[in-house]
């Protein structure tokens, strides 16, 4: 299973597989610096390093070079001529998934080093994993509004301290300082209220679809599988402009989903970022074939309803419980036979 085997050792040469280079347990490496992870350019550096040994095989549209991001032929073809499926392609969503793979691989490498009693290497790997996890947590908190909640709490504490200072200024008849403190308190109260409102909106987000669920795109009619979700659109302004998000009936404040697209329907579209209003759930269980190179790394397999079962780490990433398929109650005929 995914969480028990390194990505590099999961490589197979069949279609619909994400494959790695030769094993690199003992390969020398330099631990990431915090500045590399927190800066924009640094995140691209980390991303390039984490996928350096990963490549897609078995599909004619993906080059076997190490730079997946450049070779995936992700070119927006919509523009002024109208939208097509490529308008919802998302490089950032793909990077997010590959970084998730990288975390799984690092965790496995730590365990392997411990099993081999290579404690120095295990510690280095653990340090690297910690840095990556910290940055991923920050990004997840930002998406879920938890950072806004923390920001509101910090501002509330600052307001309490400033009110104490204000009281002291008044008692000392320092009215100029009191006026400045009063203005600062008013500003912080407004910012705290806005941050609290944002956090509340994220916490109360309701999703129509779940991880692993098979869906169909309303406009482009391709099949896809949900592998991630955000309470609102978290893409860049340029992406939203290209995807014409402003023309959506629910705009950018509705849930958006990371979806794996069936390569038989859209061979050049691996990962899309789709607004909730553009997705449909099938009317009946879809047990048909679904091919994508990421499927075997994010899901255990299909359930009896045709949806995919997300691995434990993916459910933890989005804080979602495992979906249990309800058992149909026996009908009257079955009761009579019993």
Task: Give the predicted TM-score (pTM) of the model.
Answer: 0.64
Q: How far apart are alpha carbons 100 and 109 in whole angstroms?
A: 14
Burial call 294-326: b when 16+ CB within 10 Å, e when fewer: bbbbbbeebbeeebbbbbeebbebbeeeebeee
The pLDDT assigned to 124 comes to 92
Q: Are residues 127 and 113 in contact, defined by beta-carbon separation less than 8 angstroms?
A: no
User: Residue 203 to residues 147, 171, 212, 232, 315: CA-CA distances in angstroms?
Assistant: 12, 42, 21, 11, 17
Q: How far apart are alpha carbons 268 and 74 in whole angstroms?
A: 7
Q: Are residues 256 and 94 in contact, defined by beta-carbon separation less than 8 angstroms?
A: no
Q: How far apart are alpha carbons 95 and 70 in whole angstroms?
A: 12
By the 10 Å C-beta count (0-12 exposed, 13-18 middle, 19+ buried), 136 is classed as middle
Mean pLDDT in consecutive groups of 10 residues from the start of the chain, 338 residues = 39 36 40 45 46 38 36 38 81 90 91 93 91 78 59 80 90 90 89 73 82 95 94 89 93 92 88 96 89 93 92 90 72 54
The pLDDT assigned to 63 comes to 34
Q: Kindly state the DSSP code that residue 89 receives in the 8-state scheme.
A: B
The pLDDT assigned to 85 comes to 85
Cβ count within 10 A of residue 105? 25
The pLDDT assigned to 143 comes to 62
Choose among 320, 327, 107: nearest CA to 213: 320
């Amino acid at each position: 299973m995914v969480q028990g085997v390194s990505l590099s050792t999961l490589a197979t040469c069949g279609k619909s597989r994400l494959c790695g280079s030769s094993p690199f347990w003992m390969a020398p490496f330099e631990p990431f610096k915090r500045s590399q992870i927190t800066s924009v350019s640094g995140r691209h550096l980390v991303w390039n390093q984490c996928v350096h040994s990963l490549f897609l095989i078995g599909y004619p549209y993906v080059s076997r070079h190490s730079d997946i991001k450049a070779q995936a032929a992700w070119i927006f073809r919509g523009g002024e001529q109208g939208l097509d499926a490529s308008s919802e392609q998302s490089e950032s969503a793909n990077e997010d998934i590959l970084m998730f793979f990288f975390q799984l691989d690092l965790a496995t490498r730590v365990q392997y080093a411990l099993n081999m009693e290579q404690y120095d290497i295990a510690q280095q790997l653990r340090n690297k994993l910690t840095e990556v996890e910290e940055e991923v947590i920050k990004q997840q908190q930002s998406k879920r509004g938890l950072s806004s909640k923390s920001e509101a709490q910090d501002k509330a504490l600052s307001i309490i301290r400033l009110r104490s200072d204000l009281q002291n200024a008044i008692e000392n008849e320092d009215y100029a300082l009191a006026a400045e403190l009063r203005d600062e308190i008013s500003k912080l109260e407004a910012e705290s209220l806005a941050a609290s409102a944002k956090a509340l909106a994220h916490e109360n987000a309701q999703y129509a679809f779940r991880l692993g669920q098979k869906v169909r795109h309303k406009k482009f009619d391709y099949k896809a599988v949900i592998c991630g979700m955000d309470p609102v659109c978290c893409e860049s302004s340029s992406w939203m402009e290209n995807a014409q998000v402003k023309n959506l009936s629910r705009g950018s404040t509705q849930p958006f989903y990371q979806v794996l697209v069936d390569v038989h329907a859209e061979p050049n579209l691996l990962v899309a970022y789709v607004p909730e209003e553009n997705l449909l759930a099938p009317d009946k269980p879809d047990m048909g074939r679904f091919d994508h190179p990421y499927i075997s790394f994010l899901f255990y397999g299909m359930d009896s309803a045709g949806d995919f079962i997300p691995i434990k780490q993916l459910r933890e990433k989005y804080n979602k419980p495992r979906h249990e398929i309800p058992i149909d109650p026996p009908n009257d005929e079955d009761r009579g036979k019993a």
